[in-house]
Amino acid sequence: MKGLDLNITIVGLGLIGGSYALALKELQPKKLYAVDKDEEAIKVGEEMGIIDKGFISPEIPLKESDLIIICIYPKDIKDFVKNNIDNFKLGSVITDVTGIKREFAEEINAGLRKDIDFVFGHPMAGREFTGVKYASKEIFKGANYIITPTERNKEESIKLIEDIAIGLGCKNVEKVTVEKHDEIIGFTSQLPHVIAVSLVNSDNLGVDVGKFTGDSYRDLTRIARINTKLWTELFMGNRENLINQIEEFEKNITDVKTALINKDMKSLSEILSKASKKREEMS
Amino acid sequence: MKGLDLNITIVGLGLIGGSYALALKELQPKKLYAVDKDEEAIKVGEEMGIIDKGFISPEIPLKESDLIIICIYPKDIKDFVKNNIDNFKLGSVITDVTGIKREFAEEINAGLRKDIDFVFGHPMAGREFTGVKYASKEIFKGANYIITPTERNKEESIKLIEDIAIGLGCKNVEKVTVEKHDEIIGFTSQLPHVIAVSLVNSDNLGVDVGKFTGDSYRDLTRIARINTKLWTELFMGNRENLINQIEEFEKNITDVKTALINKDMKSLSEILSKASKKREEMS
């Protein structure tokens, strides 16, 4: 996929927006713009040469753009779309990268212009750092990408986002409902973050724990370096699914504890074997 | 550290034993032997050229060796030492790589010959695979190494194990009591394995989860590909510490859940910030 015959605007030039810019550049869009209220981010983006031009104010780039990729905080997206509803080009396609979809998609769709097609997307990619200076096109390589089509989406718009995801280097694009997306993501993304945070907070050893860790503790806690504002929003926006997933996890960890308390080697061994097999079979 | 003026025998030529052999070779010991009851492992080790000679029966190499590195299952070590107590060379130093120390060290020390110095060691290194064919000297690079000196250890023997650990490429050697070791390891190594296993076992989504994961789920569950026999032994051998650590972790995850249930964004945000700061400060 080369020579993408579109003008594209990225809204929010942070780690994810910047990474999109870097990866999209290889697909050679007509023009690649960015909008960010932070002048510094625009300056860095322009200096890094990852966008053609950056804007503080969205009017001009939106009016020219066929595709808009919104990479700002979930709560800000609704305001952004609402405040700019008259600025979007006729027939433009919008997509996002938000980690929760159900309530969010409903609210967005309710206020959209008929000619605009918002295809909700979620690249399963990120880093434990924030800011455009950490942007890297590598974050998409081999990643999973989820699209949650809604009834108002055109086939061709979904196809466009799908093709771009593959063009960025993603290995797989899955299409599921917004409800299923939020249920799955509660498990595969949010629960791991809850676990990492809880593990770090459990440390009451009183030693420099970094001198007693192997890869396991490091791997499990890397994502505890968390963007508090973003993840508080994501967790709260998917709280019912996440509470269910936490409870399911609690049951499983209690099973291990019970086996230990009862000195029940057989059960413990079965629990370990089951997990090992399941993890081995994961694609 | 080059030209190690010692004959060394590795007992148990699996992933860890084989990795020791590979890394020790660079320190140029006089002779590097291996003992394994599995003829195939010896054959592979000899073919890979990572040992000078392998043995099924331990008598000959033990009688010649100044240093013995035991890399077999915790329960088998006691029997090995007991059955070979007359085979060790006068004044030889023994070390091990076992992930639990307290009960184990007591039992071993009780049956030792006076002239033998057993320095208990624990390299915080491993892989999710088993067998000598996965051996790699890289597992020690930048790793932490823990030594748990006991009253009967000579300073020079401890120093020898410490120097070798650094020679293998470890970045740090810590010396703690067997009690503290087991408490710390319950947290930094065993608890992460319990969590990884429990997370994988919590999956009841009914989808191909591998198509919906980002790095977080993969990183958190990599160690769920667990050596069931080994970790069942390790967990059971440290069950009191591990139960305590699980309970501390459960409290912390319950705090997250409670904040979600109460829609308490302030508490949730504080929990996330605390973990993020703590992880960032980890050495």
- Closest by Cα among B107, B147, B142, B134 to B17: B134
**Tokens representing residue B8 in the block:** 């060394």
Within 8 A of B199 by CB-CB distance, chain A residues are 191-192, 195, 249, 252
* Torsion A97-A103-A107-A109 (CA) sign: positive
Interface test with B, best of A270, A272, A273 (most B CBs within 10 A): A272
Q: Does pLDDT of A128 surpass 80?
A: no
Please state, rounded to an integer, the average pLDDT across all residues of chain A. Answer: 95
The interface predicted TM-score (ipTM) is 0.92
Q: How far apart are CA B101 and CA B118, in angstroms?
A: 12
Q: How confident is the model at residue A47 (pLDDT cuts 50, 70, 90)?
A: very high
Indicate the CATH number for domain A7-176.
3.40.50.720
How far is the C-alpha of B73 from the C-alpha of B230, rounded, in Å?
6
Whether residue A54 has pLDDT greater than 70: yes
CB contact under 8 A, A243 and B261: yes
CATH number of B181-281: 1.10.3660.10
Share of chain A above pLDDT 70, in %: 99
For A244, nearest residue in chain B (alpha carbons): B257
Chain B residues within 8 A of A200 when measuring between CB atoms:
275, 278-279
- Which portions of chain B are predicted below pLDDT 50? none
Min Cα separation B23/chain A (Å): 18
Segment A197-206 mean pLDDT: 97
What is the token pair recorded at A228?
């508090």
When pLDDT is cut at 50, 70 and 90, the band that residue A46 belongs to is very high
Determine the longest span between alpha carbons in chain A, in angstroms: 68
As a whole number, mean pLDDT of residues A72-99 equals 96
Put simply, the answer to whether A268 touches B219 (Cβ < 8 Å) is no
Closest CA to B191 of B151, B247, B143: B247
Burial class (CB in 10 A: 0-12, 13-18, 19+), B140: buried
Residue of A nearest to B273 (CA): A228
CA-wise closest residue to B212 among A275, A191, A71: A191
Average pLDDT over residues A210-216: 94
> Where do runs of H (alpha helix) occur along chain A?
15-25, 39-47, 59-64, 74-83, 102-110, 155-168, 178-185, 191-201, 215-221, 228-236, 239-261, 265-281
* Interchain CB contact of A239 with B (< 8 Å): yes
**Long-range CB contact pairs, B74-77, < 8 A, 24+:** B74/B98, B74/B99, B74/B100, B74/B104, B74/B230, B74/B233, B74/B234, B74/B237, B75/B233, B77/B104, B77/B108
Using a CB-CB distance cutoff of 8 angstroms, which residues of chain A are in contact with residue B201? Answer: 252, 255, 271, 274-275, 278
Cα–Cα dist B136/B134, whole Å: 6
What pLDDT does A202 receive? 98
What single string gives the DSSP state of each residue in A220-232? HHGGGS--HHHHH
Contact list, B248 vs chain A (CB under 8 Å): 202, 204
Touching check for A166 and chain B: CB below 8 Å? no
Q: CB-CB: which of B144, B211, B273 is closest to A144?
A: B211
- Residue A254 is predicted with a pLDDT of 98
Give the pLDDT of residue B126: 79
The residues spanned by each domain of chain A are 7-176, 181-281
Please report which confidence band the pLDDT of residue A105 belongs to, taking 50, 70 and 90 as the band edges: very high
* Distance of alpha carbon B261 from alpha carbon B252, whole angstroms: 14
Q: Report the run of H or E that residue B191 belongs to, with start and end.
A: helix B191-201
pLDDT one-digit tens code per residue, B83-103: 999 999 999 999 999 999 998
Q: What is the pLDDT of residue A3?
A: 75
Name the residue among A191, A214, A280 with its Cβ closest to that of B124.
A214
Percent of chain A scoring above 90 in pLDDT: 94
- Give the pLDDT of residue B283: 80
CA distance B67 to A63: 75
